[in-house]
Chains A and B, each alone.
Chain A
């Protein structure tokens, strides 16, 4: 259990590739995996590592996130000492309330960093999903005496059309020290991609951020890491478990389907490291007399009397008799009326598909229906 580190999660980065899924919420608050939000994974990783002090930087559209996180009690972070700190933007003389980039945000919450008692800071983004603990990366960080340690994994995927905070690491001969970084590369030379987790000594973090801020720095990766890659001792820590990067609607869809078809994705549901989330007091999922369900991940509160295949059903979804749902992701509370047929579709929360309606997307081009729509 980690005693000497605290966590800081940066949320609210805009991502146009998420289309309607981020119309009214941050990527961190996008539902994933049947009953979670994207942020639940990294937040649970912190908690399962023993970290009891976690700050969450929010920006625009953070209502959904605040509602989800509440006092942090589901993560056992409603503590008298430390716990969960929500850090929304606020206007002060140094702070206009709108962040140009993460350096602005870090600068304006530096009070929280200074007041934290732990020596090490674990910085996290909020669109990368994995289920692990941070003991090993922190141990390596201490052993090597690195300035910054970046968690990475090997990921051969590259889509120049939907690049999102794509940071790649190139190592020197010993394979540990980072000699070069690629940020939104046009022709990537490395498959070692950052998992958006960095460990840094809190004093060094403050120095780097304030120094960069004073020179108009905006982006932590571009204006600090890339600028100082040769002066700083940046190390990598390789993670071999399952990693899902929610970069776009397509990657969201692909990783959701991997929960069904790729055994390695079951890493995310590892019972030794439970993923905590906001509890809804739903009853068990109910299967009717005509239910025909195969290869499906389904949360509590669903009522199914139709056919469902290769799909993920979030809490409280209704599939009426005669409805057919294939290769789809159906979020909380959506209703699929009798006789409707869905294939390669993503329904956001509370969508109703009326009787007999046919909705067809395609592999690589799933149809997305925004929250509370009636189709």
Chain B
């Protein structure tokens, strides 16, 4: 049945900058904000914008994502006509290949889109945290009679060099586009949210697919090609919270943005709920000894220690005497007695023993590989840290790297 608009969600890749957090799942399945996963944001935005047909494009561990999305019922996307579909690469009798780029992923799934015969297609990234009404953007797109509309956010000029920058004229028409410019001319950063006229996009993708030199990427190929061909492309200005959580630092910051009063990121909004697969867990329990301030605590948690400026995800446990500050503790993790955790991300189902110190200043001469983490200690999923271990700030701990920290071990 015909749909006015279909959403294609680029759930993409391994998210290598998130390091050990994505060793067993794609980036969009990474936990966020106490009870969510990153992918809940674009999906909920779609549902709240009355977009009921979503294709999720992934080629990295599709099983985990598939299992998470299920029939889509948790997002109200279990529809008779439409719904949510995971679209991994597949073989046909003629060909079949990995997705070579973002545009190629859509191109390979054009028949999925075609079956709904949509007028428009909405392209989203799976690793951004924000609340946005795509219907307003669609109205903007229609009003401007554009071939493509790109959502943009004003960023501080000094940060503009990290983004794709859209230079526009006074009517909002995009005149040029620069990917991560050294000398940015404006601060309209692309949010990776596009609306295209489907027929037009289909033409450009077809030509792009035939071009062997192309990287088949929206930012590098499709959008510049459309601009050069003189298509009308407009920038849709978005105001509000938006964060790319593709790095450990930004993932930690975005979680912290939910704290404070009022929080920078307010998800307690009945008119714009973020839906998720809710865990079936008891309410959280806070013991007589516990002390909790300026934090989020989720169902299934048991808190017997001290928690400050921290997000505890569902089923996290903190034993007596334990202290957690400025940290993000993912679902099912346990922190033992008298352990102190400072500025860390603790992966899913990790077990921290008793008397463990995490986020300590490094010992003299100790060299920490913190290229991905900065000053945030990162404990991988399912890692068990023995009693008495000291983990320096910025360290990345997996089952493999654990031995260098245990028993006061050195980087031999």
Contacts and interface: CB of A to CB of B under 8 A. Distances in A.
Contacts, number: 102
A112 interface: no
A283 B34 contact: yes
B278 interface: yes
B283 A287 contact: no
Interface stretch (A115-123, A295-303, A340-348): A295-303
A355 B273 CA distance: 29
Interface stretch (B91-99, B244-252, B296-304): B296-304
B239 interface: no
Q: Which of A279, A305, A312 has the most CB of B within 10 A?
A: A279
A297 B282 CA distance: 9
Interface in A148-185: none
Contacts of A287: 292-297, 307
A283 B287 CA distance: 21
A283 B311 CA distance: 12
Interface residues of B toward A: which range? 35 or more
A285 B296 contact: yes
Interface of B: 33-35, 73-74, 258, 261, 267-268, 273-276, 278, 280-299, 307, 311-313
A274 B280 contact: yes
Interface residues of chain B: helix, strand, loop or mixed (majority)? loop
Interface string A272-286: 001110010111111
Interface residues of A, number: 36
A312 B268 CA distance: 21
B40 to A, nearest CB: 10
Contacts of A291: 292-294
Interface of A: 33-35, 73, 268-269, 271, 274-276, 279, 281-301, 303, 305, 312-313
Given A35-B282, A35-B299, A289-B293, 6 more contacts: A275-B280, A276-B280, A283-B34, A283-B274, A284-B298, A287-B293
B294 A298 contact: no
B280 A295 contact: no
Contacts of B312: 284
Contacts of B73: 73
A294 B33 contact: no
A110 to B, nearest CB: 34
Contacts of A299: 283-284, 299
Given A293-B290, A294-B288, A286 B282 contact: no
Given A291-B292, A294-B290, A301-B268, A283 B33 contact: yes
Contact of B275 (A274, A281, A286, A297): A281
A281 B75 CA distance: 10
Contacts of A285: 284, 296-298
Nearest to B299: A300
